[in-house]
Amino acid sequence: MPEVTRILFVCLGNICRSPTAEGVLRYKAPHLDIDSAGTSDWHKGDPPYGPAIDAAGLRGYDLKLLRARQVVVQDFEDFDLILAMDSENLDTLAHMQPVKSRANLRLFLDYAPQTGRREVPDPYYTRDFEGALDLIECASDGVLASLEP
Protein backbone atom coordinates (compact mmCIF):
# COMPACT_ATOMS: atom_id res chain seq x y z
CA MET A 1 0.00 0.00 0.00
CA PRO A 2 1.36 3.46 -0.86
CA GLU A 3 2.10 5.58 2.19
CA VAL A 4 -0.66 8.02 3.20
CA THR A 5 0.74 11.34 4.35
CA ARG A 6 -1.43 13.94 2.63
CA ILE A 7 -4.96 14.22 4.01
CA LEU A 8 -7.72 16.63 2.95
CA PHE A 9 -10.88 17.17 5.01
CA VAL A 10 -13.95 18.40 3.17
CA CYS A 11 -17.28 19.85 4.33
CA LEU A 12 -19.73 22.31 2.79
CA GLY A 13 -18.57 25.73 3.97
CA ASN A 14 -15.02 24.96 5.21
CA ILE A 15 -15.68 27.09 8.28
CA CYS A 16 -16.93 24.53 10.86
CA ARG A 17 -16.37 20.79 10.47
CA SER A 18 -13.42 20.43 8.10
CA PRO A 19 -11.22 23.16 9.61
CA THR A 20 -11.94 21.64 13.02
CA ALA A 21 -10.80 18.25 11.73
CA GLU A 22 -7.74 19.87 10.18
CA GLY A 23 -6.81 21.49 13.50
CA VAL A 24 -7.43 18.33 15.53
CA LEU A 25 -5.48 15.98 13.28
CA ARG A 26 -2.62 18.44 12.82
CA TYR A 27 -2.32 18.71 16.61
CA LYS A 28 -2.27 14.91 16.95
CA ALA A 29 0.01 14.28 13.96
CA PRO A 30 2.15 17.31 13.06
CA HIS A 31 4.20 15.18 10.64
CA LEU A 32 1.26 14.74 8.25
CA ASP A 33 0.40 17.15 5.42
CA ILE A 34 -3.16 18.18 6.29
CA ASP A 35 -5.54 20.66 4.70
CA SER A 36 -9.28 21.30 4.46
CA ALA A 37 -11.67 22.71 1.87
CA GLY A 38 -15.35 23.26 1.18
CA THR A 39 -17.50 21.94 -1.65
CA SER A 40 -18.94 25.48 -1.84
CA ASP A 41 -17.10 28.79 -2.28
CA TRP A 42 -19.46 30.57 0.10
CA HIS A 43 -16.82 31.41 2.68
CA LYS A 44 -13.71 31.60 0.50
CA GLY A 45 -10.96 33.46 2.38
CA ASP A 46 -12.88 33.53 5.66
CA PRO A 47 -11.53 32.27 8.99
CA PRO A 48 -13.45 29.44 10.66
CA TYR A 49 -16.78 30.31 12.28
CA GLY A 50 -16.28 32.00 15.67
CA PRO A 51 -18.09 29.38 17.79
CA ALA A 52 -16.07 26.61 16.08
CA ILE A 53 -12.82 28.46 16.85
CA ASP A 54 -13.92 28.90 20.48
CA ALA A 55 -15.03 25.28 21.02
CA ALA A 56 -11.82 23.92 19.48
CA GLY A 57 -9.71 26.42 21.42
CA LEU A 58 -11.12 25.16 24.72
CA ARG A 59 -9.76 21.70 23.82
CA GLY A 60 -6.37 23.08 22.81
CA TYR A 61 -6.78 23.23 19.02
CA ASP A 62 -5.96 26.56 17.37
CA LEU A 63 -8.06 27.25 14.25
CA LYS A 64 -7.64 31.02 14.14
CA LEU A 65 -5.18 31.23 11.25
CA LEU A 66 -7.04 28.87 8.91
CA ARG A 67 -8.80 30.31 5.86
CA ALA A 68 -11.57 28.74 3.80
CA ARG A 69 -11.13 27.61 0.24
CA GLN A 70 -13.12 25.56 -2.25
CA VAL A 71 -12.11 22.05 -3.35
CA VAL A 72 -10.35 21.97 -6.73
CA VAL A 73 -9.71 19.08 -9.13
CA GLN A 74 -5.97 19.35 -8.37
CA ASP A 75 -6.76 18.21 -4.82
CA PHE A 76 -7.34 14.69 -6.17
CA GLU A 77 -3.69 14.62 -7.20
CA ASP A 78 -2.30 16.51 -4.21
CA PHE A 79 -3.89 14.34 -1.47
CA ASP A 80 -3.76 10.60 -0.76
CA LEU A 81 -6.84 10.50 1.44
CA ILE A 82 -9.87 12.79 1.07
CA LEU A 83 -12.33 12.63 3.96
CA ALA A 84 -15.88 13.93 3.61
CA MET A 85 -17.94 15.01 6.60
CA ASP A 86 -21.28 13.86 5.16
CA SER A 87 -22.81 11.93 2.25
CA GLU A 88 -23.62 15.07 0.31
CA ASN A 89 -19.98 16.18 0.43
CA LEU A 90 -18.95 12.65 -0.58
CA ASP A 91 -21.30 12.69 -3.59
CA THR A 92 -19.99 16.07 -4.75
CA LEU A 93 -16.41 14.83 -4.45
CA ALA A 94 -17.15 11.54 -6.21
CA HIS A 95 -18.53 13.47 -9.19
CA MET A 96 -15.42 15.68 -9.29
CA GLN A 97 -12.83 12.91 -8.97
CA PRO A 98 -10.86 12.42 -12.20
CA VAL A 99 -10.78 8.84 -13.51
CA LYS A 100 -7.00 8.73 -13.17
CA SER A 101 -6.99 9.99 -9.58
CA ARG A 102 -5.75 7.44 -7.06
CA ALA A 103 -6.89 9.40 -4.01
CA ASN A 104 -8.86 7.37 -1.49
CA LEU A 105 -12.20 9.15 -1.03
CA ARG A 106 -14.09 8.18 2.13
CA LEU A 107 -16.52 9.38 4.77
CA PHE A 108 -14.48 10.60 7.77
CA LEU A 109 -16.63 8.61 10.20
CA ASP A 110 -15.71 5.37 8.43
CA TYR A 111 -12.76 5.68 10.82
CA ALA A 112 -15.01 5.85 13.90
CA PRO A 113 -17.40 2.88 13.54
CA GLN A 114 -17.85 2.76 17.32
CA THR A 115 -19.82 6.04 17.16
CA GLY A 116 -22.59 4.34 15.20
CA ARG A 117 -22.75 7.38 12.90
CA ARG A 118 -21.78 7.92 9.29
CA GLU A 119 -21.88 11.71 9.14
CA VAL A 120 -20.67 14.62 11.27
CA PRO A 121 -23.83 16.72 11.82
CA ASP A 122 -23.21 20.32 10.82
CA PRO A 123 -22.85 22.43 13.99
CA TYR A 124 -23.50 25.55 11.93
CA TYR A 125 -27.12 24.36 12.02
CA THR A 126 -27.29 22.05 15.05
CA ARG A 127 -25.20 24.38 17.28
CA ASP A 128 -23.70 21.22 18.83
CA PHE A 129 -20.03 22.13 18.54
CA GLU A 130 -19.08 19.79 21.40
CA GLY A 131 -20.75 16.81 19.75
CA ALA A 132 -19.00 17.56 16.46
CA LEU A 133 -15.66 17.80 18.26
CA ASP A 134 -16.27 14.47 20.02
CA LEU A 135 -16.88 12.76 16.65
CA ILE A 136 -13.93 14.50 15.01
CA GLU A 137 -11.51 13.56 17.81
CA CYS A 138 -12.68 9.96 17.70
CA ALA A 139 -12.36 9.65 13.91
CA SER A 140 -8.97 11.40 13.95
CA ASP A 141 -7.69 8.71 16.31
CA GLY A 142 -9.14 6.12 13.93
CA VAL A 143 -7.35 7.66 10.95
CA LEU A 144 -4.05 7.65 12.86
CA ALA A 145 -4.55 4.04 13.92
CA SER A 146 -5.20 3.08 10.27
CA LEU A 147 -1.87 4.66 9.24
CA GLU A 148 0.17 2.62 11.71
CA PRO A 149 2.22 -0.11 10.02
Of 5-13, 21-29, 71-79, 92-100, which part binds ligand 4NP (CB under 6 A)?
5-13
Instruction: Write each residue from 21 to 60 as x if it is in contact with ligand 4NP (CB under 6 A), else as -, in one continuous string.
Output: ---------------------x------------------
| Active-site choice (16, 86, 122, 138) | 122
Task: Name the amino acid, one letter, at 36.
Answer: S
CA distance 85 to 124: 13
The reply to whether 106 belongs to the active site is no
The reply to whether 11 belongs to the active site is yes
Q: What is the DSSP string of 87-139?
A: HHHHHHHHHH--TT---EEEEGGGG-GGG--SS---HHHH--HHHHHHHHHHH
Write out the residues near ligand 4NP by the rule CB under 6 A: 11-17, 42, 122, 124
